[in-house]
């Protein structure tokens, strides 16, 4: 069993989910989900996003957990009034060659989709922060 597959199983058990529950959430069969935990299956970008959501993590933190990839660096500000997170990549060309444990590679189209999703979420976050600031005044 691959290390990332083992971590996926440990995370599921830690949160108390069954394979069937996560399979339903990912809209796949239980046997397909089981193959992810044995390393026989591969996660696609949408599944990574949904699993990160299920475990209340952002995608970068979820990928970092699965891969222990130090190229993902998430810095949280020590200022309690500042909720901004900086996400840095130590290798600017890394986005061109994202590979998770040499098993899951993202195509150019998937990377572009991922980038669009990030931009959309950043816009939503900025909007919600402004709304929150207005309500706190």
CA distance linking residue 86 with residue 18, whole number of Å: 33
8-state DSSP, 105: E
pLDDT of res. 87: 34
**101 or 51, which is more confident:** 51
Q: What would the pLDDT profile of 114-137 be if each residue is shown by its tens digit?
A: 889 999 998 888 888 888 887 776
Residue 8 pLDDT level (bands cut at 50, 70, 90): very high
Region of 21 please: left (phi>0), alpha (psi -120 to 50) or beta: alpha
pLDDT of res. 104: 52
CA distance linking residue 90 with residue 35, whole number of Å: 32
Q: Which residues make Cβ contacts (< 8 Å) with residue 85, sequence separation at least 6?
A: 58, 74, 75, 76, 77
Annotate 88-98 with b (16+ C-beta within 10 A) or e (fewer): eeeeeeeeeeb
pLDDT of res. 129: 86
CA distance linking residue 55 with residue 80, whole number of Å: 23
Give the domain range for residue 57: 3-136
Which CATH number covers residue 37? 1.10.260.40
pLDDT of res. 27: 94
Q: What would the pLDDT profile of 13-53 be if each residue is shown by its tens digit?
A: 999 999 999 999 999 999 999 999 998 988 888 899 899 99
pLDDT of res. 100: 42
Q: What would the pLDDT profile of 64-95 be if each residue is shown by its tens digit?
A: 888 875 444 433 333 333 333 333 333 333 34
Q: What would the pLDDT profile of 52-64 be if each residue is shown by its tens digit?
A: 999 988 888 888 8
The total number of structural domains that make up the chain = 1
């Amino acid at each position: 069993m691959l290390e990332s597959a083992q971590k996926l199983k440990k995370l599921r058990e830690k949160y108390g989910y069954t394979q069937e529950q996560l399979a339903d959430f990912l809209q796949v069969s239980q046997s397909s989900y089981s193959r992810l935990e044995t390393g026989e299956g591969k996660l696609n970008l949408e599944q990574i996003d949904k699993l990160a959501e299920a475990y209340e993590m952002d995608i970068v933190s979820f990928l970092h957990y699965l891969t222990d990839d130090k190229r993902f660096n998430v810095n949280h500000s020590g200022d309690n009034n500042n909720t901004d997170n900086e996400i840095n990549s130590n290798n600017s060309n890394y986005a061109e060659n994202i590979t998770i444990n040499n098993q899951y590679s993202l195509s150019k189209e998937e990377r572009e989709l991922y980038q669009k999703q990030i931009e959309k979420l950043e816009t939503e976050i900025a909007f919600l922060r402004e709304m929150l600031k207005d309500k706190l005044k």
